[in-house]
Amino acid sequence: MKRDCGSLILHTAFIMAFQLAVSSAGRRIGFDLLRTTTAAVDIRRGAVGNTSAAVTDHDSHRKLKTINHLPEIKTCRMLWRLFFKGYLNRMHELQLYEKQLYGPLYRVNAGNYKCVSISSADLLEELLRKDEKFPSRGDMTLWTDYRDMRGIGYGPFTEEGEKWYNLRTVLNKRMLHPKDSVQYGDVINQVVTDFIIRIYYLREVSPTGDLVSDLANEFYRFSLEGISTILFETRIGCLEKEIPSETQDFIDSIARMFTYSMPVVVLPKWTRNYLPFWQRYLNGWEGIFKFAAKLIDMKMEAIQKRVDANQEVAGEYLTYLLSNVKMSSKDIYGSIAELLLAGVDTTSNTMMWALYLLSRDPAAQVALYEEVNHIIKDDRVPTAQEVNSMPYLKAVIKEALRMYPVVPMNARIMTENEVVIGGHFFPKKTTFTLMHYAISNDEKVFPEPRKFKPERWLRDGRARPNPFGSIPFGFGVRGCVGRRIAELELYLAVARIIKLFEIRPDPTIGEVQALNRTVLVADRQVNLHFVERQNTPQS
């Protein structure tokens, strides 16, 4: 497997959504901003006419400020920071720096890039509680163009409005409720078992006999196998020594699609007929959908055969979607592809950060080992219900996601409503960027924010942090659809690994820093020692 595809995945929808949202909404918002210099008048009109659900009567009695009262970052300063101060790859750190300079609410006004940044838990809560019925992160034409050309339906990322809502209603079932995700426990456990076998193999061939190198890549394989097994109800061989060639083509297609997204998004549309990037970008999508369609069609045939033979149709997520009258197969292709792309880098990087943090904190590792060992005796494989009742394990994952929110920035566009946030009035179509990294590293909410302290999250009588201080899966109806599956994958894998191995740092790699490639990734290859515990037979 090529290493670069791991770090490229989720150079995905989020950056696309974010960049496109910011540029296109920026264009739209520009007009509105000009009109809001006399905001007090507009607000009164809004309140009296009751046109806005978000701007309340209560708000109208207060003296509201406008967007023009906010500190502003202009193009030159933005470019200076990104390109000369080196924040381009460390935009999560830029969030901290700008919060220090401007406070938790400021605006960016850089060419087409116009938005309002929010970087405190209170303001984030205020905004998200006023989120619209059909929340929007922005324009996804980069992804929808291909689907339109090929007549493929949109998935949860790309769909908007009422259609998105209806789609989510179908997709949420069997996925979002904790009791639904439990049903995937056995499937995920099979993948974890193969992953453990792979860890033993990698240790064996390592120079020290216990080193696993390039964990991000290994977890990428694990996550892709896990989510594919759930979505396609078929194993695709990512954990085998030799990856099957069709699967490798699929992985390369994902990498190709992301690699060529960048030139395609930057270059004007007319260049598509003259430069090779657009065609290569399309080839990437062709490969992704070819692979997905083959597996989906096979499943469809199998279901049809059972129906024809009057046999019961049983299965998991794909079978559920295929048996759903509301979804055509072109909609299923669209949704499965997006679920798959969203579910790999997110889970794999979270796993990498969690193990890296544990390797550097022996006390936390002992606490986790004791919890796991207390519940899981001998070499038994833990069930989904069992890991769901391990508070320290959950706290470890929550803390890893707080320190390294794998999606460090998100966006919302208020398409329907004017809104008041932090005593400021914002017109319709304002783009808000949600600075999750700055928020979850706020020392007022999380004392000693750069210290790994899973105990912050324990319900043992201590004061619990503001829930909006760390919302790594987003919030509300547009929140992550794969959350429960991701959590289950993380819990089952980390519990099994910690039960079998003590994880120790590789001193040769030094202190790992985060880079922002849309998801937070490590700035170097992370290797860890997996020292086998005594009396823990190989599973």
Q: Which is nearer to ligand HEM, 191 or 485 (CB)?
A: 485
Pick the stretch among 342-350, 425-433, 442-450, 453-461 that binds ligand HEM (CB under 6 A).
Answer: 342-350
410 binding ligand HEM? (CB under 6 A)? yes
Pick the stretch among 286-294, 406-414, 425-433, 530-538 that binds ligand HEM (CB under 6 A).
Answer: 406-414
Task: Tell me the closest approach of the beta carbon of residue 136 to ligand HEM, in angstroms.
Answer: 9
185 binding ligand HEM? (CB under 6 A)? no
406 binding ligand HEM? (CB under 6 A)? yes
Q: Which is nearer to ligand HEM, 98 or 159 (CB)?
A: 159
10 binding ligand HEM? (CB under 6 A)? no
Rule CB under 6 A: choose which of 318, 342, 400, 498 binds ligand HEM: 342
Is there a contact between 504 and 529 (Cβ–Cβ < 8 Å)?
Answer: yes
Q: In Å, how far are 172, 173, 289, 361 from 317, measured between CA atoms?
A: 11, 9, 18, 38
Backbone φ/ψ region at 45: left (φ over 0), alpha (ψ -120 to 50), beta: alpha
Give the position of tokens 């381009």.
Answer: 88
Nearest to 364 by CA among 398, 404, 314, 339: 398
137 binding ligand HEM? (CB under 6 A)? yes
Nearest to 520 by CA among 10, 86, 157, 121: 10
Q: Which is nearer to ligand HEM, 342 or 384 (CB)?
A: 342
Give the position of tokens 């937070």.
Answer: 520
Task: Tell me the closest approach of the beta carbon of residue 100 to ligand HEM, in angstroms.
Answer: 24
Burial 98-121 (b: 16+ CB within 10 A, else e): bbeebebbbbbbbeebbbbbbbbb
User: DSSP characters for 193-249?
Assistant: HHHHHHHHHHHHTSTTSSEE--HHHHHHHHHHHHHHHHHHSS---TTSSS--HHHHH
- The 3-class SS string of 75-120 reads HHHHHHHHHHCCCCCCHHHHHHHHHHHHCCEEEEEECCEEEEEECC
Task: Tell me the closest approach of the beta carbon of residue 242 to ligand HEM, in angstroms.
Answer: 26
156 binding ligand HEM? (CB under 6 A)? yes
Q: Which is nearer to ligand HEM, 277 or 353 (CB)?
A: 353
Task: Tell me the closest approach of the beta carbon of residue 388 to ligand HEM, in angstroms.
Answer: 16
Binding residues for heme, as ranges, are: 480
| Rounded Cα gap, residues 201 and 18, in angstroms | 40
Q: Which is nearer to ligand HEM, 339 or 445 (CB)?
A: 339
338 binding ligand HEM? (CB under 6 A)? yes
Task: Tell me the closest approach of the beta carbon of residue 470 to ligand HEM, in angstroms.
Answer: 11
DSSP state of 169: H
503 binding ligand HEM? (CB under 6 A)? no
Rule CB under 6 A: choose which of 21, 227, 292, 413 binds ligand HEM: 227
Is there a contact between 212 and 218 (Cβ–Cβ < 8 Å)?
Answer: yes
482 binding ligand HEM? (CB under 6 A)? yes
- Residue 100 in tokens: 């220090």
189 binding ligand HEM? (CB under 6 A)? no
Binding residues, as ranges, are: 480
* Residues near ligand HEM (CB under 6 A): 137, 156-157, 168, 227, 338-339, 342-343, 346-347, 350, 406-407, 410, 472-475, 478-482, 485-486
